[in-house]
Structure 1
């Protein structure tokens, strides 16, 4: 019995029928192009904010930002919020570019007002604390001066005066440290700002879809040719049986 090389036979058959490898990939590519041309373009609008020194959770955590903004603004567009450290991005998706742009503008303005207001409130709070501590520092300084004068005039009150001076000096040092921290915080405070805003057409992934269609077409062609060869061999075997 003559030895058969099945794999070689299949390779030889595929080589002979190689032109049959072209139609199906071409058809798949045409289908992919038609599908892409028929699908409606969609748009993605996004505004990215630098949150700066604002620590308010409702303006820094995506789910809270989304809830706060949707409470004030109603929309039928797809709206969501994403975040990375110190950055908040508002996303609006839809089929109408103008509508996406209008809705994104509303959310952007609303968030911008809220975060600037929060920043101003935080700065004001720091300034009030700083002013209060400086006033307290003046009072303590006056108290120490009084204690020094009082202790020098009345010998029997020297110990009490020294105690008051020591206590006030200790508290003054703590107060000075707090003032230094607040002054540094105030000078380093970073105000929030809008970094970018844009509305762009979403990528339809035409190139990747065409590549996938071509690969799928080639694969199906190999499967069909292999099946064709198998059927021919099966018929030949039946006829010779």
Structure 2
């Protein structure tokens, strides 16, 4: 009885792959070009992309800070994306030339900042007027308290004295509230003045094609397909030889 020859299956497969090593060059290149090219044409966009980032500062009006409301203001603009984050609005504009995109971005961001500044200055003016009225009210209340103090030092009958005491207490309470509100308003205004809207950045770059990413995926997939293809070819070759024998 003939002794069966010991087989080293892994070694046989490695030798089979080595003899057909050109497959590891041809198949990955084909899949790399196919997938990379497919991704390039499927994802192909306008050649230039511009982004402008605007700082909204102290403006909190929903008409100017909510994404859908901002988009409604620029509804006629094509190839425009708007993204709103904390106190920032990013405009992304696509176009066929860098100059075209840059001009469009300047117009968009300029118009938007003008609207923000108008709202900002309106709020600042109203807040300043209100603060001035509070300060005048504080002066009036201080004068009233001083007058009450002078009157209380006089020789008054009990009813009038009690009435002045009530007025004094009520005026002091009102003064305390007005003074606290005025101090809070000054602090808010100091902060608000530093929160003026402005354009943080503007830039125009060539649009991303994703060809490299697609090609890398195609290369990896091609290597896997090559291994599977050669393994299948080896298996079929041995099966055919077995049945022929």
Alpha-carbon separation, structure 2, partners of 1:24 and 1:95: 36
The one-character-per-residue Cα deviations of 1:26-71 (angstroms, maximum 9, x if unpaired) are 334445676659956532211101111111122222222212332x
Cα RMSD for the two superposed structures: 2.4
Alignment of 1:180-219 (within 5 A): 180-189=183-192, 190-219=195-224
**Number of corresponding residues:** 236
Alpha-carbon separation, structure 2, partners of 1:172 and 1:41: 64
Q: TM-score, normalised by structure 2?
A: 0.85
Q: Answer yes or no: is the 8 Å Cα contact 2:46–2:94 preserved in 1.
A: no
Structure 1 segments unaligned to the other structure (5+ residues)? none
| Residue 78 of structure 1: aligned partner | 79
Q: Answer yes or no: is the 8 Å Cα contact 1:69–1:110 preserved in 2.
A: no
Alpha-carbon separation, structure 1, partners of 2:68 and 2:37: 39
Q: Answer yes or no: is the 8 Å Cα contact 2:45–2:207 preserved in 1.
A: no
SS in 2 for 1:195: strand
Alpha-carbon separation, structure 2, partners of 1:118 and 1:136: 27
1:232 has 2:237 as partner: yes
1:26 has 2:29 as partner: yes
The structure, 1 or 2, with the larger RCO (C-alpha pairs under 8 Å, 6+ apart) is: 2
Q: TM-score, normalised by structure 1?
A: 0.86
| Residue 15 of structure 2: aligned partner | 12
